[in-house]
C-alpha cells in the first residue's frame, strides 16, 4: 500500500468548498466532473447494488489529491454522511496495487466494506473504521489510463494548464 494519496470532503455546496479549500491548499483551479453515475452494474452500497449520482471536483496540493463530492441523487455513503454529520472531511484514500487482496486483508481483520465499485479507469472500496475513530478509508486501484488525466488535473491545480 502507498501512503495517503487523497483527502476527500462531502459537501452540499461545491463553490463554497472549492473556494475555502482552494485558498487553504493553494489550488489555482479545480476540475469539476458533473453528474458521475455509479450504477448497479458497477457499484455496491452496503452490499446491495447502488444507483447514485455525484458531482466531483478534483485538485492537487503537491502530490496530495483533493476531492470534493456533492451527492446529487440516490443513496450512498455520501448522502448518509451529509444526513448524519453535515458537510466535512469524509475519507482518506490509499492507492493499492491489488484491490482484491487489499479488501481480503481488510475483511480478514474484521473490517467492513460499505461501498465499492468501478469508475473510469479505477476500482475502489471504502473500508469502515469509524468504530475505532479512524473514519473511512478508500482503497483505490488506479489504472494506467487514468494517470494522464490526473497529471492534467495536477497541472491545472498549479496553474500550468487550462
pTM of the model: 0.95
Q: Name 96's Cβ contacts closer than 8 Å, sequence gap at least 6.
A: 1, 2, 102, 139, 140, 141
So where are the chain's domains? 4-157
Which of the listed CATH numbers 1.10.30.50, 3.20.20.10, 3.10.180.10, 1.10.357.10 matches domain 4-157? 3.10.180.10
pLDDT in tens, 79-137: 999 999 999 999 999 999 999 999 999 999 999 999 999 988 999 999 999 999 889 99
Span 134-155, pLDDT tens digits: 899 999 999 999 999 999 999 9
pLDDT digits (tens, 9 = 90+) for 14-43: 999 999 999 999 999 999 999 999 999 999
Amino acid at each position: 500500500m502507498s501512503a495517503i494519496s487523497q483527502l476527500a470532503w462531502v459537501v452540499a455546496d461545491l463553490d463554497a468548498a472549492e473556494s475555502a479549500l482552494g485558498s487553504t491548499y493553494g489550488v489555482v483551479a479545480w476540475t469539476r466532473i458533473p453528474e458521475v453515475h455509479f450504477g448497479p452494474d458497477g457499484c455496491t452500497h452496503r452490499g446491495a447494488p447502488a444507483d447514485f449520482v455525484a458531482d466531483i471536483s478534483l485538485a492537487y496540493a503537491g502530490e496530495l489529491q483533493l476531492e470534493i463530492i456533492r451527492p446529487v441523487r440516490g443513496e450512498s455513503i455520501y448522502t448518509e454522511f451529509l444526513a448524519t454529520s453535515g458537510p466535512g472531511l469524509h475519507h482518506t484514500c490509499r492507492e493499492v496495487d491489488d484491490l482484491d487482496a487489499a479488501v481480503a486483508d481488510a475483511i480478514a481483520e474484521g473490517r467492513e466494506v460499505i461501498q465499492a465499485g468501478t469508475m473510469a479507469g479505477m476500482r475502489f472500496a471504502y473500508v469502515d473504521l469509524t468504530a475505532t475513530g479512524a473514519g473511512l478509508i478508500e482503497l483505490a486501484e488506479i489504472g494506467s489510463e487514468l494517470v494522464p488525466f490526473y497529471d492534467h488535473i495536477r497541472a491545472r491545480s498549479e496553474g500550468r494548464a487550462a
